[in-house]
Structure 1
Amino acid sequence: MGHNEGRSRVSAGAVIRDEHGRVLIVDPVYKPYWNLPGGAAEENEVPRETCRREVLEELNLDLDIGRLLVHATIAVADGAPRDYFIFDGGVLSARRQQDIRLQQSELGAFRFAAPGDLTDKDIAPFARQMWDSALLALSESRTIRIGER
């Protein structure tokens, strides 16, 4: 997630797949769980632009961000709801995968994982429903809304 974690209540991320349908996940150096690439919105930034900027910063990939898969409103530890937007980041060819350069200050590693291989040790409990919903939304060509304000 981005630099202004404390201020922004909006985060955006991308489901980016390889040619085998595995999902690209990243390992943030500052927390125990793997994550989808993405981060916190800057002031007056729309979620799709947040997603594109964060993927570029984190992975060195300038992607055409596709449709919205999930919009989730989740109350986090401090009680204030936070909005998460997950977009379709498309499929990365083997050649494009070679362009990935991790943002060293934030990410320790990346990998492509089959959705069924991700355990609760890999992803944060609150994120599980969002991730599962994003994959369902992808397969069913729809957008899923979770939670409410």
Structure 2
Amino acid sequence: MTDAQFDEDVRAEGEPEREFHAGVAARLPRKTAAGGALFRDEAGRILFLEPTYKPTLEIPGGNCEADESPLRACCREVREELGVDLPVGRALVVDWVPASGPWLDKIVFVFDGGVLDAATTARITADPVEVRGLVFLPLDEASRRLRPSMARRLATALLALESGETLYAEFGRPAG
């Protein structure tokens, strides 16, 4: 969706619905959201980031900013982290992650980043502030360097690629 289409959709929606009981909306719980991209190389290995700010591997992507969709957050973070605009396709996984420590519960989307050829991979310039390195690994090899929930989420994303369906998960495990 383009910015112009989004703006038109917002205008077409009209005035926000009024609360019948003042303050209800402010009392509702808040969730965060994030979007990441599952990029693979021609051998089927997954592109992982070695972040500068944590010991575990991550896929390109990140948390949504205020009033930003998970897809737009994913595209923005891919551009910031990899230094190149890459197409991001359909949603593979919608995963609910429970609260942990200071972090609220959240909804994490994994989108299909497709297969990167050697020429595209050569154009990637990782952001040195956030990314220490990039590596393509098969999921089974990467699993020991991932949080268990991320390993499960990516296994679910690979199932979604095979099935052609978007899968719902809870803490990385397919549900429903």
TM-score higher than 0.5: yes
TM-score between the two structures when normalised by the length of structure 1: 0.88
Question: Where does structure 1 lack aligned partners over 5 or more consecutive residues?
Answer: 1-6
Count of residues in Structure 1 that have an aligned counterpart in Structure 2 = 141
Cα RMSD (Å): 1.7
Taking the aligned partners of 2:44 and 2:56, their CA distance within structure 1 comes to 21
Which of 57, 76, 82 does residue 53 from structure 1 map onto? 76
User: Secondary structure of 1:87's partner?
Assistant: strand
Q: 1:8 to 1:62 in 2, by over 3 A?
A: farther
Aligned identity (percent) is: 35
1:87 aligned partner, one-letter code: F
Per the alignment, residue 86 of structure 1 pairs with 110
Q: Where does 1:1-149 land on structure 2 (aligned, <5 Å)?
A: 9-78=32-101, 80-120=104-144, 122-147=145-170
1:79-113 CA distances to partner (integer Å, 9 max, x unpaired)?
73111010001111100111111111111000111
Per the alignment, residue 8 of structure 2 pairs with none
Question: Where does structure 2 lack aligned partners over 5 or more consecutive residues?
Answer: 1-29
1:106 aligned partner, one-letter code: E
What stretches of structure 1 move > 6 A for 4+ residues in a row? none
Q: Which has the larger radius of gyration?
A: 2
Q: Which has the higher helix share?
A: 2
Taking the aligned partners of 2:99 and 2:156, their CA distance within structure 1 comes to 19
* Contact 1:24–1:110, Cα closer than 8 Å, also in 2: yes
TM-score between the two structures when normalised by the length of structure 2: 0.75
